[in-house]
């Protein structure tokens, strides 16, 4: 633990959880494809099984490769403990079900990730958990709802897909005052740009599928927070069987070694592209917290070290067909539902973040039909700008 704060972000990304040598003096983390772990000494087995001594028993509980992944994220987020799940929604749903019981109340915002929104509107109410979703930019309204009492205050910042920014420190204070567990989905920001725990949150959640892995080749989810809280989530997820695969943990770990380099580049590329789009005649509006025109810019400057690689913009014309026209013209973007990878990825909310919602629900959430979500990759920014310019001007 003493070494937790010793190193800066890039050093933690490379070495975190991997300082020692592995089995057979391997310098790289082995992918341990073993369901169980054997013991010749019955006392040792019992000690490990009871948690009195470190070790592994069964991969649904813990696995050596998965543990290294959890440890690296724990170090990057600066928390006491971490646990993982099979996907981002895996860890989010598990955290909610582990911490809530019938009769409890949750306060959150309208702009959470589409899957999270479905948890709030469908699956939690089904087990008699009351959920209040506030206007994402109205901090006073959120505080007022929290003050009425809640078990969980659930935040996500920056949000998907209109990149709104919530003041974590201010809202965490409100949550603490009523004894709520303050959860923050930090997927968009990554630990390189923002550490919610340092801003007062109790639990930070990631879809590791996105920036942590960074190569769009593995699903995973992870939670970091106080040891007691993580134990509650772990105890639930080991029984539900929501397990991160060792191979996925390896791929995510491999990706995380370059996390700081990728994010620095994506921060820089996104800021330049946002400024470029803001001055483009084919664009009606740009959403990016690094722009001084963004309503959350001041909060973002205070709580983030970089503004992230996610932006969105409204194509001129304002209809879904206008978004499709621009998207079809892009050569340097995967038209796909993912985000946070080394390559640029673009899509409309209707098929990506908010595919779970109806057109009416998206309208109610203030998501324009001609919105294009643009996950900026690590390519050369001049090429990306030229590609966008061509698509917006509809030249071949
Ligand atoms: C993708 C995403 C999730 C869900 O993660 P999966 O790994 O796809 O389950 C949750 N929150 C945010 C902000 C996301 O972008």
- Which pLDDT tens digit goes with each residue over 151-200? 999 999 999 889 999 999 999 999 999 999 999 999 999 999 999 999 99
Span 55-76, average pLDDT: 97
Q: Which atom of ligand 1 is nearest to the CA of 340?
A: 15
| Half-sphere exposure in the Cβ direction for 139 (13 Å, CA) | 15
| Most ligand 1 atoms within 8 A of CB, residue of 69, 112, 115 to mutate | 115
Can 390 be counted among the known catalytic residues?
A: no
Residue 321: pLDDT over 60: yes
Determine the distance separating the centroid of ligand 1 and the alpha carbon of 237, expressed in angstroms. Answer: 18
pLDDT band at 228 (very low <50, low <70, confident <90, very high): very high
Determine the distance separating the centroid of ligand 1 and the alpha carbon of 88, expressed in angstroms. Answer: 5
DSSP conformational letter for 120: I
CB 84 within 8 A of CB 221: yes
Can 331 be counted among the known catalytic residues?
A: no
Q: Which residue, judged by its Cα, is nearest atom 5 of ligand 1?
A: 88
Determine the distance separating the centroid of ligand 1 and the alpha carbon of 207, expressed in angstroms. Answer: 5
Residue 149: pLDDT over 70: yes
Dist. CA 167–CA 157, nearest whole Å: 8
pLDDT band at 396 (very low <50, low <70, confident <90, very high): very low
**Domain coordinates in residue numbering, the chain:** 9-256, 259-391
pLDDT digits (tens, 9 = 90+) for 260-307: 999 999 999 999 999 999 999 999 999 999 999 999 999 999 999 999
pLDDT digits (tens, 9 = 90+) for 92-136: 999 999 999 999 999 999 999 989 999 999 999 999 999 999 999
Dist. CA 390–CA 326, nearest whole Å: 9
In angstroms, how far is the first alpha carbon of the chain from the final one? 57
| Most ligand 1 atoms within 8 A of CB, residue of 160, 242, 375 to mutate | 160
Q: Which residue, judged by its Cα, is nearest atom 6 of ligand 1?
A: 88
Q: What is the pLDDT of residue 3?
A: 54
DSSP conformational letter for 122: I
**Pocket residues: Cβ below 6 A from ligand 1:** 87-89, 113, 115, 156, 160, 185, 187-188, 207, 209-210, 219, 221
Q: Which residue, judged by its Cα, is nearest atom 11 of ligand 1?
A: 113
What count of other Cβ atoms lies within 10 Å of the Cβ of residue 140?
A: 9
Classify 9-256 by CATH class. alpha beta
CB 332 within 8 A of CB 383: yes
* The model's pTM: 0.96
Q: Can you name the CATH fold of 259-391?
A: 3.90.1150
Q: Which residue, judged by its Cα, is nearest atom 2 of ligand 1?
A: 207
């Amino acid at each position: 633990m003493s070494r937790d704060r010793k190193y800066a972000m890039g050093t933690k990304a490379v070495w975190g959880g991997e300082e020692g040598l592995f089995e057979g003096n391997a310098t790289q983390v082995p992918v341990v494809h073993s369901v169980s772990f054997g013991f010749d000494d019955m006392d040792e087995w019992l000690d490990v099984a009871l948690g009195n001594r470190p070790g592994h028993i069964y991969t649904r509980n813990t696995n050596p490769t998965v543990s290294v992944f959890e440890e690296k994220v724990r170090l990057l987020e600066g928390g006491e403990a971490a646990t993982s799940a099979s996907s981002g929604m895996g860890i989010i749903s598990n955290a909610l079900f582990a911490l809530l019981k019938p009769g409890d109340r949750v306060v959150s915002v309208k702009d959470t990730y589409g899957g999270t929104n479905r948890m709030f509107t469908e699956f939690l109410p089904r087990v008699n958990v009351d959920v209040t979703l506030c206007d994402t930019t109205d901090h006073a309204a959120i505080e007022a709802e929290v003050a009425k009492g809640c078990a969980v205050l659930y935040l996500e910042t920056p949000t998907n897909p209109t990149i709104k920014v919530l003041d974590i420190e201010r809202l965490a204070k409100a949550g603490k005052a009523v004894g709520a567990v303050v959860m923050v989905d930090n997927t968009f920001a990554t630990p390189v740009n923002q550490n919610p725990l340092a801003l007062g949150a109790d639990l930070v959640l990631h879809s590791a599928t996105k920036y942590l892995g960074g190569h769009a080749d593995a699903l995973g989810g992870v939670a970091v927070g106080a040891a007691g809280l993580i134990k509650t989530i772990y105890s639930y997820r080991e029984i539900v069987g929501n397990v991160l695969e060792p191979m996925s943990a390896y791929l995510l770990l491999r990706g995380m070694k370059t996390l700081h380099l990728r994010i620095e580049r994506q921060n820089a590329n996104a800021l330049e592209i946002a400024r470029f789009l803001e001055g483009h005649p084919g664009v009606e509006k740009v959403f990016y917290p690094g722009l001084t025109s963004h309503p959350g810019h001041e909060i973002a400057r205070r709580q983030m070290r970089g503004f992230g690689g996610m932006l969105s913009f409204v194509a001129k014309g304002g209809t879904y067909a206008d978004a499709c026209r621009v998207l079809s013209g892009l050569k340097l973007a995967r038209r796909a539902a993912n985000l946070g990878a080394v390559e640029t990825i673009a899509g409309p909310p209707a098929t990506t973040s908010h595919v779970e919602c109806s057109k009416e629900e998206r309208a109610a959430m203030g998501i324009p039909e001609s919105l294009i979500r643009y996950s900026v990759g690590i390519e050369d920014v001049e090429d990306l700008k030229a590609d966008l310019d061509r698509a917006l001007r509809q030249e071949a």
